[in-house]
Structure 1
Amino acid sequence: MRFLPLCLLALMLTGCVREYHPISSAPSRPQASSEPTRKPASRPAPVKVYTDATDLVSKPFRDLGEVSGDDCQTSTQDSPPNIATARKRLQVKASQMKANAVLLHKCEIVSSTPGCYRQAICQGSALKVSNQ
């Protein structure tokens, strides 16, 4: 009687192995599809960060508005907020405004923000600096 369950188990395992299809290492041919191929997302233009307003004295520029970037630590178990990440997000937002420079006003870590245990915040002005 013990022989019958072992045979059924072996039969079931054989059936599972038969359905297994290993991935071949040979490159597969791309399938033609009716969808157009997507281009990768374009990277935002580089935004230069100025920390001192005197660096802009001899350069003509236009102020496009205030921008800010942040990095939030939601709980004590999360990684601490990073000022470099907040600065990078500031640059991305300035790039979306078609700015090529940012005058950095301040970067600080605060703990009084709702929803964040601690938060790194960077604030500045988005600028369009002319190359004259």
Structure 2
Amino acid sequence: MRAIPLVFLALSLTGCSLLQPKTAPAPQPVIEPAVKAPAKAKPAPRPATAVLYNSAEELVGKTFRDMGEVSGSVCQASMQDTPATVANARRRMQTRATAMRANAVLVHNCQVVSGVAGCYRQAICEGTALKISSQ
């Protein structure tokens, strides 16, 4: 007999929990405006590439300072690789001259060589890095 009141109590509690009173709808979450990501810092501008001069006569009348010897080379490791070109070797020489703070290069020699150890074909350029002052 003692169990009957407990069963009624349990049924009445569950019965009440099944009935939900009608209430106001739950408040909608507040949507905040999207925060823009900070603008990425732009990389520092590249320095201008060094100007190529093919002969010393082109430098007549210009004031310049010798910054040292520079060279650029490109290696084609096998016949299937991208060909080694004089243009790429010149570009690398210009980049090295710019790294030395030179603004010009007097080109001495550019050639494509075969049979170099480790390279099927190699393009090499040599020159002098110059700092030409503006007058």
Residues 1:90 and 2:99 aligned together: no
* CA separation of 1:51 and 1:30: change in aligned 2, threshold 3 A: farther
Q: Which structure 2 segments of 5+ residues have no match? A: 1-33
Equivalent of residue 116 in structure 2, options 91, 113, 116 = 113
1:1-132 matched pairs, under 5 angstroms: 32=37, 37-132=40-135
The equivalent residue for 2:5 is none
Segments ≥4 residues shifted beyond 3 Å: 29-33
What is the CA RMSD across the aligned residues, in angstroms? 1.9
TM-score with structure 1 setting the length: 0.69
Q: Separation in 2 of the partners of 1:119 and 1:42?
A: 31
Bigger Rg, structure 1 or 2: 2
Q: Separation in 1 of the partners of 2:76 and 2:49?
A: 27
Percent identity over paired residues? 55
* CA separation of 1:110 and 1:37: change in aligned 2, threshold 3 A: same
